[in-house]
Amino acid sequence: MSDSVQKYRDYVITSFVKSVAPLVIEKASGAVVTDVNGREYVDCFAGISVVNAGHCNPEVIAAAKAQMDKLVHGASYLYHVQPVADLAEKLAQIAPSGLTKTFFGNGGAEAIEGALKLARLYTGKHEFIALQTSFHGRTFGTLSVSGNMARKKRGGPYAAGVAFAPVPYAYRSQWRNNPEECGRHCGQEIEKVIRFATSGDVAAFIAEPVLGEGGIVVPPPNYFREVKKVLDQYGILFIADEVQSGFARTGKMFAIEHFGVVPDILVTAKGIADGFPLSAFTTRPEIAAAFEPGDHLSTFGGNPVCCAAALANIAFLQKEDLPARAAETGAYAIAKLKGLQERSPLIGEVRGLGLMIGVELVRDANLTPASAETEAIRDAMFQQGVLVGVGGAYGNVVRFQPPLIVSQAQIDVAISAFAEALRQVIESTTLPVS
């Protein structure tokens, strides 16, 4: 056993996801991860949807190194630091219209917590509405607004004052062949949730524009417009959690741009700085003004090195037009996966936007989740040198979320490995084979 595996066992508190053999990563570049034995893997998970501009992107690393030589920590909320100011300005330029003021934290959950707190202060209201299979983090507050039992099991009860609305998941709804109706129904359902599952004191509705941990669920195009109508009627803010879907991943800079609505608060992390720990929430000036001096602070939030890395990262995303590239490569991958679906009854649905792609595996026509098979496929792909994620409310969705610079040749390798893994898993079970 490698030294680091043993030390993890002895000294690191962890709850690692299962995998056939532990991967000990030595280095990574672009869309390739290399282990301590020199074995290379095509990375189709990007460190949980983080390194959108590629692992160790040279332009991001150079910017971070240059900043490290000048200032590593400046207490960005006590003093003024240039990269923080520049990044806030940059986010104001690329965020949906009107969202111009940003608070910086270190990770996704911290930014969600801050957004929830700000929504309460601004509205003077206290409750929240979230989606049933949503995931927003692992702190107490973020678990309280997460519906996804697969990610929040044990540790409850969670905070009161949160009501959960049906997720616009057409594939597992009665409107499988009519997503528009699913979007309309689930959107309008928010009003019933407000009336019958809250005390009417709702500060904000929080949702991921594309659900990540929930199994890459893409809401129907009309869904958020329907939701927004209800929210506006009741004076409820819309917090878009773009921690996983932001920064070009879905083929737009932010996934909410696909849906024709503007959120009141946009929360970002993961892809913001290509692997450097940073998060943000960005909002309109009048909402931001609800924070008075002393209301909110983060010692490490807005770290200058991370902000410098984020600026270089965003410059790279724009220079290389990674939204367009993600859309193109994603369409290529989805077409290939749909080709496989025609030949494999185990594949229930292939869905996604850009390079946020999920393949939902089911055992039969009743959509019985093929959860064990999904894990077996992830492990079989790992054996072939390809990393993917697993998610979904039932743990039966294979997630393809590679760095956005991934080549079509690397996608071919990943999908061949997926096809072979499917074959192996089907062969070793009693599932029907076409």
278/406 with CB nearer ligand PLP:
278
Which alpha helices (DSSP H) does 289-353 contain, by range? 304-319, 322-343
Look-up of token digits 């990262």? 313
**Contacts (Cβ under 8 Å, ≥6 apart) of 421:** 376, 377, 378, 380, 381, 384
What is the closest distance, in whole angstroms, from the C-beta atom of residue 114 to ligand PLP in the complex?
A: 12
**Cβ pair 262, 236 in contact under 8 A:** no
Pick between residue 344 and residue 389 the one whose CB is nearest to ligand PLP.
389
Residues in contact with ligand PLP by CB under 6 A are 48, 107-109, 112, 135-137, 208, 212-213, 241, 243-244, 269
Q: Which is nearer to ligand PLP, 190 or 210 (CB)?
A: 210
Q: Tell me 302's DSSP state.
A: T
**Residue (12 or 409) nearer to ligand PLP, CB:** 12
Min separation Cβ 112 and ligand PLP, Å: 6
Which of 214, 195, 213, 194 is CA-nearest to residue 204? 194
- Dihedral, 213, 216, 217, 220 alpha carbons, nearest 10: 140
Phi and psi, residue 344, nearest 5°: -130, 115
Tokens representing 281? 């929430």
For residue 35, give Cα distances in angstroms to 147, 258, 330. 35, 37, 27
Minimum CB–partner distance for residue 282 and ligand PLP (Å): 15
Ramachandran area for residue 354 (φ above 0: left; ψ -120 to 50: alpha; else beta)? left
> 48 or 340: whose CB is closer to ligand PLP?
48
* Count, residues in the chain: 434
CB-nearer residue toward ligand PLP: 48 or 372: 48
Q: CB nearer to ligand PLP: give 114 or 137.
A: 137
Least Å distance, CB 48 to ligand PLP, is 6
Both tokens assigned to 397 = 């969705």
Tokens of 290: 């609800």
- Measured CA to CA in angstroms, residue 14 lies from 6, 10, 35, 83 at distances of 13, 10, 20, 33
Residue 408: CB minimum distance to ligand PLP, A = 26
Closest CB 338 distance from ligand PLP, rounded Å: 25
361 near 374, Cβ under 8 Å? yes
CB of 272 to ligand PLP, least distance (A): 10
Q: Which two tokens stand for residue 310?
A: 């984020």
Q: Which is nearer to ligand PLP, 35 or 113 (CB)?
A: 113
Min separation Cβ 134 and ligand PLP, Å: 8
Which residue's CB is nearer to ligand PLP, number 303 or number 410? 303
- Residue of closest CB approach to ligand PLP: 108
Nearer to ligand PLP, 96 or 215 (CB): 215
CA distances (Å), origin 204, targets 81, 110, 194, 260, 356: 32, 17, 11, 19, 26
Q: How far is the CB of 320 from ligand PLP (least distance, A)?
A: 24
> How many other C-beta atoms can be found within 10 angstroms of the C-beta atom of residue 138?
14
- CB 174 → ligand PLP: shortest distance, Å? 26
How far apart, in whole angstroms, are the C-alpha atoms of residue 126 and residue 8? 41
